[in-house]
Amino acid sequence: MTERLRAEEALRESEEHLRQSQKIEAVGRLAGGVAHDFNNLLTAILGYSQLLRSSLRPEDPRHHSAEEIQRAAERAAGLTRQLLAFSRKQVLEPKVVSLNGVVVDMLEMLRRLIGEHIELVTVLAPDLGQVRADPSQVEQVILNLALNARDAMPEGGRLVIATAEMEHHEDSPADHEGLDAGRYVTLSVQDSGVGMDEETRQRIFEPFFTTKEVGKGTGLGLATVYGIVKQSGGYIWVESEPGTGARFTISLPRVDAEVPLDGPAPPQGANGRETILLVEDEERVRTLVSAVLARRGYHVIEASHGAQAIDEASRLPGPLHLLIADVVMPGMSGRELAERLATVRPEMRVLYVSGYTDDAIVRHGVVGAGAAFLQKPFELDSLVGKVREVLDAGVADTA
């Protein structure tokens, strides 16, 4: 009878996990679609507000208005990044990184954010292995977890960030469901705050679930963390009891590789004379990008879809130096367009842009090894710098 009750309880838990997974997946698809459309609008808002600011003197009252528009758009862009991270539809730029290095680089910022009433302690394992992840997304994970811990300690407390290594075998105790056998590097963030009960722990990674007062939390912070970790091939779990604080632990597969040294920063504001084929189905974005690049001296040919781009490329008498293509377009994706043009334009380099990425195109969040990518919304200096960086790379994109 006891075994039967245990089996029934396990079945109920499995069905509940399935329902939760389906609900998160459905909200994720919705969030990803909204973020895509919104990022196109934000690209135009950010770009034109920057152009407006640059054309006005600082003492002009309109300069301040343009600045406020830009700041509001940047805050909105941060929200869409959270939506994309949660829905696992963002493009990652994974590198071999040291979690110890990421934590150390963030310490000063974290101390400012959590406040003097909270003690920040780090316990970093020596000779820690490396992981392959997007450094900016790892920083986002640490930041969100630290802010969540801060909010759980309104009267002050202790925040401990620790790193370690672990090895999981097939015959290891099933402490962490879904964790494959292998070597992992772990990052834990532990607070001495109010803690959570079982019901809250079960829902902690749900989108828009929050225990904070109305207006003090979107409920996307931990959902964003969950999305980033899963998209990076990792695993996250939480341990907590009411009154005993909480500890979030993240495990990422260890890789045997050295952390590469950072190369020179991409050129900012550089001009050029090359020919660029710009393919973007959103007219506002296409007009903005074309105008900005033309001012920098580039010869820009515009197309609103893949078929038109192929026609324009076929009629171009000289070399085509760069293709700038949206990843997701009706009829023909940017990836498909680049592959077709590469056969007749081998000298062409490629820069992908998008506010949303389809897993069918980007294979788990990466647009092919070595492919250049610019996430919408982007600042105009970032666009110009990225274009110059790709043109100066000297190797055509073969992704």
Report DSSP state, residue 163.
Answer: E
At residue 67, φ and ψ (nearest 5 deg) are: -65, -40
Q: Which domains does the chain have, with CATH numbers?
A: 2-87 (1.10.287.130), 99-255 (3.30.565.10), 275-392 (3.40.50.2300)
Which pLDDT score, from 0 to 100, does residue 365 have? 42
Q: pLDDT, tens digit, for every residue of 12-35?
A: 666 665 665 565 566 556 666 666
- Cβ distance 390 to 266 under 8 Å? no
- Cβ distance 333 to 66 under 8 Å? no
At residue 123, φ and ψ (nearest 5 deg) are: -130, 90
Q: How far is 201 from 246, CA to CA, in rounded Å? A: 10
The two tokens of residue 351 are 């820069």
Tally Cβ neighbours within 10 Å of residue 360. 9
Q: Which amino acid is at 149?
A: A
Angle, alpha carbons 211-113-153 (nearest 5°): 40
With 0-12 CB in 10 A as exposed, 13-18 as middle and 19+ as buried, what is 126?
A: exposed
What mean pLDDT is predicted for residues 230-244?
87
Which pLDDT score, from 0 to 100, does residue 397 have? 43
Q: Which amino acid is at 112?
A: R
Q: pLDDT, tens digit, for every residue of 253-284?
A: 999 876 555 544 444 556 788 999 999 988 98
Q: How far is 393 from 389, CA to CA, in rounded Å? A: 6
With 0-12 CB in 10 A as exposed, 13-18 as middle and 19+ as buried, what is 3?
A: exposed
pTM: 0.54
Look at residue 288 and tell me whether its pLDDT is greater than 60.
yes
At residue 272, φ and ψ (nearest 5 deg) are: -165, 175
Q: How far is 86 from 385, CA to CA, in rounded Å? A: 29
Which pLDDT score, from 0 to 100, does residue 393 have? 81
What mean pLDDT is predicted for residues 22-50?
73
Which pLDDT score, from 0 to 100, does residue 85 have? 57
Which pLDDT score, from 0 to 100, does residue 341 have? 94
Q: Which residues pair with 185 in a beta bridge?
A: 165, 252
Look at residue 215 and tell me whether its pLDDT is greater than 50.
no
> Which of 181-190, 228-237, 390-399 is least confident?
390-399
Look at residue 366 and tell me whether its pLDDT is greater than 50.
no
Count how many Cα atoms sit within 13 Å of the Cα of residue 283 in the half-sphere of its side chain. 0
The two tokens of residue 248 are 């979030």
Helix (H, G, I), strand (E, B) or coil at 168: strand
92 membership: H or E segment, kind and range = none
What mean pLDDT is predicted for residues 362-391?
75
Q: Which amino acid is at 127?
A: D
Which pLDDT score, from 0 to 100, does residue 3 have? 76
Q: Which residues contact 369 (CB under 8 A, 6 or more apart)?
A: 399
**Torsion angle, CA of 339/341/343/344, rounded to 10 degrees?**
180
Q: How far is 76 from 42, CA to CA, in rounded Å? A: 8
What mean pLDDT is predicted for residues 366-378?
70
Which pLDDT score, from 0 to 100, does residue 345 have? 92
The two tokens of residue 235 are 């695993």
Using a pLDDT cut of 70, give the percent of the chain over it.
75
Which pLDDT score, from 0 to 100, does residue 181 have? 77
> Which of 20-24, 195-199, 228-232, 384-388 is least confident?
20-24
What mean pLDDT is predicted for residues 28-51?
76
The two tokens of residue 254 are 């260890």
Which pLDDT score, from 0 to 100, does residue 136 have? 80
Mean pLDDT of the chain: 80
> Which of 47-51, 70-74, 107-111, 356-360 is least confident?
356-360
Q: pLDDT, tens digit, for every residue of 96-142?
A: 899 999 999 888 888 888 888 999 999 999 989 999 888 888 888 89
Which pLDDT score, from 0 to 100, does residue 121 have? 94
* pLDDT band, residue 290 (cuts 50/70/90): very high
Angle between helix axes 135-151 and 99-114 (nearest 10 degrees) is 40
- Cβ distance 391 to 299 under 8 Å? no
How far from 355 is each of 69, 87, 90, CA to CA, in Å?
Answer: 20, 13, 8
